[in-house]
Structure 1
């Protein structure tokens, strides 16, 4: 009997090799359902892109369409990565990629979880679309998006008056040419600014606790670039901290964050935060009348008390959860290091130094090599000159 079973098994295997794949070991019911849901999401995406409310509604809930219709989209696509059947229908895990027309060279990539149900006739439809797991929210998750375009910017908000968003656009429009004048024009020269309703909304977009960003006026999202890649960056505003700034402070913040957008493709894991944040502050303060002691009050206080830093700040010193005084000193130290390079070697050499560090993908040796290649000094000599510069400028 055992031998007979083996013969029949081998025979069945041979038959499978002769028949189309769908005849033996073909698509399962789960594969079929996944394909149906993927097709549904493809239809939903196409309807959104062509602004077809009727076709979009035929695929399920209309909430996202209403909230998204002001957003100028160049692309929008889901890719199903998992599907689980439930008593009410199914839950789908998906990667969503989209690009804002005229602004994004590369897509935003985010993970979503969709819930689905079936009609009496068996047709799938979407009942909800939300951020997956620990993924941050997208702006439309917080409400209907209002879009205000500027000459070099696109400001997206939820719940604000268009006039308030236009104020952000005016400052972003001043920031873009200011950054290009110092850094160069090898970037998009456009910036997308997200303005949530509150600090809590900012935290939701970033997928982190609100406490991490209290007192932080704005941050820039995006992965480090390199190899010519330009990720889709977003400047995210903390409306509560931003509102507390004066006109100049607001402009400095937006110019600082726009610098991060411009330099992202040349910022790698080898770029220390004292350089990336210091360079952004250096461009942010260009053209202002702020003196070093006014722009770096915490560091000036320390130097005045005889506590000159022994070394440039480490990356850990820039953590938003750090002591506020220590965090301020870290930023001020980076700014003055970049200001010193611009003053003693020239602004062009400062930009070249930033780019040279970013040609490396790993930290060890990157700054040292760029210091010798571009500035012609050793790390020890550079640090000594920076410490002397602090005592001269912050007296």
Structure 2
């Protein structure tokens, strides 16, 4: 993810449908009863309901949609039940692996049949976008945008995402064209509070952050990643700022399958920024103002940013420096060893220790890379 301070980026100059509320009514199922028979009937009721329109978000293009019931509790003399279930779905043309999560369904028995009366996230589980209200759908050439709010905003985000995807592919991002199909799903909730709810964090963690990426690092096949947009922060950006943000996040989606827990954050975040700024033509001092201020003040970093430097909620200036210094490291590698070498390093760093990856792809070691990077910081950012 990338926090782009709004004050900096301000300087940088289908089909539609709606989902109903989270509590949906739908008649389904087979004979109600008690005990094991009731449990089987509830399972059949949930399956029948999920197969119909009442059990699916309206307008959202689905390749598959199913619930696996994991528990059934019958109450009130066999007239009401609560079912725990796992929702699994794929968005048509986008998901290579299922998305979903734990759900809790309420059912009522009437005339010998069970009826699903409510579907909500299970306690502690994250909601889906359609749990928050009606969803509009904008289908672009490379992007599917699901969101709330003005349709004009969603259409603009789809157009920007459609530009970002080919830019990521053109940069030869690890995974692009091989483990990534060149498509992205963008979620646009109507507020930062609802963005935070989708991600399971406090809203304060995302204020001022224009977008983040979800997904499982190192998963195979490619997981169902989503780019989630903070509508308030995104709208405050300039056109170029929006392009940079979405290109950065789309790079994360493209590289996710070839990123692992051993990939240093300076490499993954720096690479995403390198792709985003690759064709911008902007000077390093413009792209890295926080790092430039530190260098001019005589605070040249001794080492590449550690993973802890990317923690949100702390010193914003230090966080900006971590991203900018990482971008400059990837820029240096691409300039000195070549863009293909940078791509090879990214892939190798996910499979083996960084020291070995540097030796096999660049023919250097971490002290030598660090020295070259510190010299580049001085050359690119120093001076009055």
Q: TM-score, normalised by structure 1?
A: 0.84
Q: How big is each residue's C-alpha offset from its partner over 1:105-150, in whole Å with a ceiling of 9 and x where there is no partner?
A: 111031111122211x332221211112222221101111111011
1:164 is matched with: 153
| 1:377 positional shift | 0.8
Q: How big is each residue's C-alpha offset from its partner over 1:258-296, in whole Å with a ceiling of 9 and x where there is no partner?
A: 001100100111112111111111101111132111111
Q: 1:33 to 1:359 in 2, by over 3 A?
A: farther
Whole-Å separation in 1 of the counterparts to 2:307 and 2:319: 11
2:106 is matched with: 115
SS in structure 2 of the partner of residue 351 of structure 1: helix
| 1:378 positional shift | 1.1
Contact 1:34 1:80 in 2 (8 A): no
SS in structure 1 of the partner of residue 364 of structure 2: coil
1:6 is matched with: none
Whole-Å separation in 1 of the counterparts to 2:281 and 2:66: 47
Are residue 154 (structure 1) and residue 141 (structure 2) matched?
Answer: no
Q: In the alignment, which of 177, 184, 201 is matched to residue 166 of structure 2?
A: 177
Are residue 391 (structure 1) and residue 353 (structure 2) matched?
Answer: no
| 1:29 positional shift | 5.6
Contact 1:274 1:313 in 2 (8 A): yes
Q: In the alignment, which of 173, 193, 199 is matched to residue 206 of structure 1?
A: 199
| 1:326 positional shift | 1.5
Contact 2:49 2:116 in 1 (8 A): no
1:381 is matched with: 368
CA RMSD of aligned residues (A): 1.6
SS in structure 1 of the partner of residue 73 of structure 2: strand
Q: In the alignment, which of 182, 187, 195 is matched to residue 189 of structure 1?
A: 182
Count of residues in Structure 1 that have an aligned counterpart in Structure 2: 344
Are residue 301 (structure 1) and residue 293 (structure 2) matched?
Answer: yes
2:121 is matched with: 131
Q: 1:128 to 1:309 in 2, by over 3 A?
A: same
Are residue 221 (structure 1) and residue 214 (structure 2) matched?
Answer: yes
2:25 is matched with: none
Whole-Å separation in 2 of the counterparts to 1:30 and 1:224: 42
2:257 is matched with: 265
SS in structure 1 of the partner of residue 303 of structure 2: coil
Whole-Å separation in 1 of the counterparts to 2:166 and 2:224: 19
Instruction: Give unpaired runs (5+ residues) of structure 2.
Output: 1-32
Q: 1:389 to 1:31 in 2, by over 3 A?
A: farther
SS in structure 2 of the partner of residue 148 of structure 1: strand
| 1:73 positional shift | 0.2
Whole-Å separation in 2 of the counterparts to 1:36 and 1:153: 40
1:39 is matched with: 44
Instruction: State the structure with more CA Rg.
Output: 1
1:22 is matched with: none
Instruction: Give unpaired runs (5+ residues) of structure 1.
Output: 1-27, 49-55, 57-63, 361-365
- Written as runs of structure 1 = structure 2, the 5 A alignment for 1:1-395 is 30-48=35-53, 56=54, 65=56, 68-87=57-76, 89-119=80-110, 121-158=111-148, 160-182=149-171, 183=173, 184-186=176-178, 187-226=180-219, 228-360=220-352, 366-395=353-382
| 1:391 positional shift | 1.0
Whole-Å separation in 2 of the counterparts to 1:86 and 1:385: 69
Name whichever of 84-93 and 260-269 sits farther off: 84-93
Q: TM-score, normalised by structure 2?
A: 0.86
Whole-Å separation in 1 of the counterparts to 2:318 and 2:203: 20
Whole-Å separation in 1 of the counterparts to 2:319 and 2:375: 21
Q: 1:30 to 1:300 in 2, by over 3 A?
A: farther
Whole-Å separation in 1 of the counterparts to 2:125 and 2:311: 20
- Moved runs in structure 1, 4+ residues, more than 6 A? none
Q: How big is each residue's C-alpha offset from its partner over 1:172-191, in whole Å with a ceiling of 9 and x where there is no partner?
A: 01101100011242211001
Contact 2:34 2:74 in 1 (8 A): no
Whole-Å separation in 1 of the counterparts to 2:216 and 2:36: 33
